[in-house]
Amino acid sequence: MSSGALLLARLSDPERLIPTAEVFEHSEFVDCWNAVDGHVDLVALIKTPASALPAQFRNLPGIDELYVFDLTDDGAKLVCELALSHSFLFLEVEADKLADVQSRIKALAQVIFCSRMQDRNELVAVISGDNFQSIDRMVNNQIRPIDGVLRVKQDRVINLKQI
């Protein structure tokens, strides 16, 4: 059962970040959103399943790529309360080790949220830390070495509301 969906948007032009974020901010379909520095520019938790994503998001000017994944775990709303020093991790995992990798990541104290992306061998996690250097150390020393983790993409949260 899905507990919502995660929308990842890559923008073709950095100038579109603020206007696109404003659409997310005022949408009835978005629980919360974060600007991030990484392989995508915006991450949003949406209230609908991926298959029911409103056309308003698919047709936003400036969106170069849009990915939407149903989440499989409860607790996704925890990502709505992020302050500074948080990162989203997107992990590609060996299929037969997915459950073990997820449980090991969830057991880490700095992990706020970890969910499987439905119908994929991928996990999304939110990591907190005192600063980004401590998050980087934790990712490199405790997550990347987990047996079954193939690739890790790390996107740092940019809290535009606190800038």
- Domains of the chain, each with CATH number or no CATH: 5-70 (3.30.70.920), 76-162 (3.30.70.920)
Give me the mean pLDDT over the 99-125 stretch: 89
Residues sharing a CB contact under 8 Å with residue 157, sequence separation 6 or more, in sequence order: 34, 35, 36, 82, 84, 85, 86, 87, 88
**Which range, 79-93, 109-123, 131-145, has the best average confidence (pLDDT)?**
131-145
pLDDT at 69: 81
CA 53 to CA 122: how far, in whole Å?
20
Q: Is the pLDDT of residue 37 over 60?
A: yes
pLDDT at 74: 62
Give me the mean pLDDT over the 105-125 stretch: 88
